[in-house]
Amino acid sequence: MRNAALMLGIIGGLIGLIVGFFSFGYTEFVDWFGEIPDVAEQVENRTLIRTVSFLAPLLAIAGGAMARSNALVGGILLLLSAAGMYHAFGFNVFTMFPEGMTALAGILALAAGKPDTPKSHF
């Protein structure tokens, strides 16, 4: 389960990186060129979009990387990443895979209650 969490977390983080890059770029584009009515209008909470565009993929990649060695912390980071993406971007065709992958990876990491070492994280 920890290996699946590792792979899903990293892949979800990389796809989230693409979504974050375009979301941040869109807000910067509208700031630079101004709003075009009914075509390109600024988002309601620009700071939230920019912050989550940067932090959520980082949390997903870091959580996925930690899933094998420290499943509890990795799972929490993955779930925070999925929740942040959902809060900022909602659930749509562009975010369903990064959100779904990171949420599933977080659940799998937390479900890995007994790591290879005798000490469990629960």
pLDDT tens-place string over residues 55-94:
999 999 999 999 988 899 999 999 999 999 999 999 999 9
pTM of the model: 0.87
Place of tokens 């799998």: 108
- Between CA 79 and CA 104 the distance in angstroms is 8
- Between CA 9 and CA 50 the distance in angstroms is 21
On whether residue 47 sits in a domain, the answer given is yes
On whether residue 117 sits in a domain, the answer given is no
On whether residue 121 sits in a domain, the answer given is no
Q: How does residue 112 score in pLDDT terms, banded at 50, 70 and 90?
A: confident
Domain that holds residue 52: 2-111
- Between CA 67 and CA 35 the distance in angstroms is 42
Helix H segments across the chain? 2-33, 46-66, 71-89, 96-111
Question: Domains in the chain: how many in total?
Answer: 1
- Between CA 35 and CA 28 the distance in angstroms is 11
Q: Give me the pLDDT at residue 10, please.
A: 96
